[in-house]
Structure 1
Amino acid sequence: MVYNSSTDIFEVASQGRMLVITDIHGNLEDFKRYESIFKGCLDQLKVVITGDFIHELDNNYDGSVEVLERVKCYYHQYPNFHVLLGNHEWAHLADEPAYKMGVDQKRAFESYLRERFGGKWGSKFRSYLEFFRELPVAIKTGNGVIISHAGPYSDFKNQEELRNITLAGYRGNKPLEKMMLNRPGNYSKEDLERFLELVGCKVMVAGHTIVDGVDTVYGKQMILSSSLSSGRKAYLELDLEAEINDVEDLIPMVRWLE
């Protein structure tokens, strides 16, 4: 198996704005609404999709394939369009179940591909796996914000560990698993602060945990729910030129999906 040979942290300069969008989970209608915000602006506006863009979880139409194809297209055509690995994409690479609402979403998605593409499903699935392997785990901005799907974890060693986190593969890789799955409660305030210090950042932004649009953790982490949410749907319009010292500096940059 070929693993991601590039860095697992992508770094962006402190210029312009960046939209941070989390956990679309195959909601094609929500993706189209976000698309209407950034489409046509990708020469100036940066976008980050923080993983978990597949696996519909809300008992509606599963637009995972349509969302995935759109995300792939933007990712490969526009340097300002960034995509991170989430635990639902990672589950396919690690061959691990992804249970939500009593259903193994990994197995359900693979069955859906068989039904949709018939005898061609294998080649289609392999192309998706190749795409997932291209995805970094985190993005760092020049003004000290680190963006990931989830995490951090208590026994984090140094920035190089994160930079090379997929080199040990996807299956049985405990540090990567923690970065994919950890929620507030899996790490302490001290763990978060130590992680930020070691990666040279002031604030962390993540998805993964369902909240009412936005929540803050330990004054140093912002959790966003951009599609799958317990209420409202929020995204971040991050000013890459602003001084960021704590999560309160990000609050005025939160936007709501109307």
Structure 2
Amino acid sequence: MTAVDFTSFVDRLASASGDTILPFFRTSLTVDNKKTGGFDPVTAADRAAEDAMRTLIRKNFPAHGILGEEYGSEHADAEYVWVLDPIDGTKSFISGMVAWGTLIGLMRFGEPVFGMMHQPFVRERFSGDGGAAGYRGPAGDRALHVRPCASLKDAVLFTTSPLLMQPADRAIFQRVENAVKLSRYGGDCYAYCMLAAGHIDLVIETEINPHDIVPLIPIIAGAGGIVTTWENGPAQGGGRIIAAGDKRVHAAALEILQA
């Protein structure tokens, strides 16, 4: 059985989570803080959406494992493990902005094999299996392809916020930022999808969890891009992450990040 067999089921998960989340969006929400000494918001929408997806997975694939942001892991040693982030970009969500999405990933033997980012409010779905990636939404269904970018001076760079980085990492990031044509903040999972769609060239972040990045890896790889750690290692474990549409600009940015 390959990841392709799960495509229709991932659509079911996306629809179930979207139907659960949308009644909460742009309403008066109670927001809890998960982080002592900082602000990491979670809402009833996050919890309800992950619960809906977990229920479907348990019913249809009881032998599969699950790793989710809100409820942790179960059967993490299974051949197939679903990786869920019900609302990636909760800070945008509670602010009424649309730069958030539901992340659904599937790993087999520890390797990401399928991923989807679903934004139910604007009805967009970005998906990939590492070999190909596609978009479905108001702009019309189409294949996703990264764009060429030979050098940092031509690159558009995104990060969610430099304030999320430790001071030492922030200083390193700023050296890359100083070398690019344009640097913008915000986006969360949307920035990675815009990279896969060929609109931007680099995403550089830190403090990333597996549920933040695993579902996005097959989308970017399927569009022809590359995702690694700052150490140029596998990205599925999270940490300090760099995604690029062109291997040349990836190498140029890594040279600065590792200097």
Shorter-chain TM-score category? Answer: under 0.3
Richer in strand (by share):
2
- Tell me the TM-score normalized by structure 1: 0.26
- Tell me the TM-score normalized by structure 2: 0.25
Q: Which has the higher contact order (CA 8 A, sep 6+)?
A: 1
